[in-house]
Amino acid sequence: VIATNGDGSKLKAELIDRKVLAKPQDLIEEGKIRIVESRRALALSNIPQDHIYFLSFPDRELNELLLEHWEKPKTSKTTGVNQAYYEGSYKQGSLYTGRNLLDMLKEVISSTTPTIIVTHNPYDTHADHRTVYKFINLAVNELSERGVVERPKIYSFIVHKDAFEYPRPLRFDPRAPLYPPRKLKNICNWFVYPLSDSVVKLKFQEIKIQ
């Protein structure tokens, strides 16, 4: 389940893809690229295309859906659209509201009945990541309390924390251990899931896709 298509990064559009003063349409094109790249990468892991859910909600603006736009549609600051615009979205045309995002997550969880959910960590410094965690918990709490699904285990991972501490090493070094951020070491219960050499190689191939 991919909540946003990364269409809020003007820096990437302007520096990497060389769009001078990126316009809304340029950012929409970035979102389309992210969908293609994600499908290609997940195909390497033999994930069926109908197992991939692009919700296509506004990048870097999910917290506003939770706090200010639960019912009233939000217009993205970067793309200028207020709905799941992209072809191939789980529910193309759905308005950007917190309720719609929650309903989509409940539908996916109800239909797939996962026993484990792996999602973002609530201490991540990226606001979207923290908000995804909150929405996942809202969905799981409601569905389990209503008896729709058995409560799955929820595990989380950190992407962004202190830029000067995590992640380290700040280079490609597949054999180096990745320790949790120091400030979170005793706050969260951490688990290690060792990867085989073949899986590390596969992940590297997926990351290189563009």
Task: Dump pLDDT digits (tens) for 150-186.
Answer: 999 999 999 999 888 898 888 888 888 889 999 999 9
DSSP state, 120?
Answer: E
Percent of the chain surpassing pLDDT 90 = 79
Residue 207 neighbours by CB under 8 Å, 6+ apart: 41
Helix 127-145 vs helix 98-112: angle between axes, to the nearest 10 degrees? 60
The rounded distance, in Å, linking the Cα atoms of 205 and 207 is 6
Cβ neighbours, 10 Å, residue 86 = 19
Mean pLDDT of 125-136: 97
Residue 194 neighbours by CB under 8 Å, 6+ apart: none
pLDDT at 22: 83
CA distances in angstroms from 36 to 49, 175, 186, listed in the order given: 11, 29, 39
14: confidence class by pLDDT, cuts 50, 70, 90: low
The rounded distance, in Å, linking the Cα atoms of 31 and 9 is 10
The rounded distance, in Å, linking the Cα atoms of 72 and 75 is 10
Task: Dump pLDDT digits (tens) for 33-88.
Answer: 999 999 999 999 999 999 999 999 999 999 999 999 999 999 999 999 999 999 99
CA torsion through residues 55, 57, 60, 64, sign: negative
Say yes or no to pLDDT of 145 above 90.
yes
Q: Tokens 């484990």 label which residue?
A: 116
Say yes or no to pLDDT of 117 above 90.
yes
Q: Could you tell me the maximum CA-CA distance found in the chain, to the nearest angstrom?
A: 52
205: confidence class by pLDDT, cuts 50, 70, 90: very high
* Closest by CA position to 207, among listed 40, 50, 17, 49: 40
Tell me the pLDDT of the chain averaged across its residues. Answer: 93
DSSP assignment string, 9-36: -HHIIIIIS--TT--HHHHHHHHHHHHH
pLDDT at 175: 84
Long-range contacts of 67-71 (CB under 8 A, 24+ apart): 69/96, 69/97, 69/98, 70/97, 70/98, 70/99, 71/97, 71/98, 71/99
Long-range contacts of 182-188 (CB under 8 A, 24+ apart): 184/123, 184/158, 187/123, 188/121, 188/123, 188/156
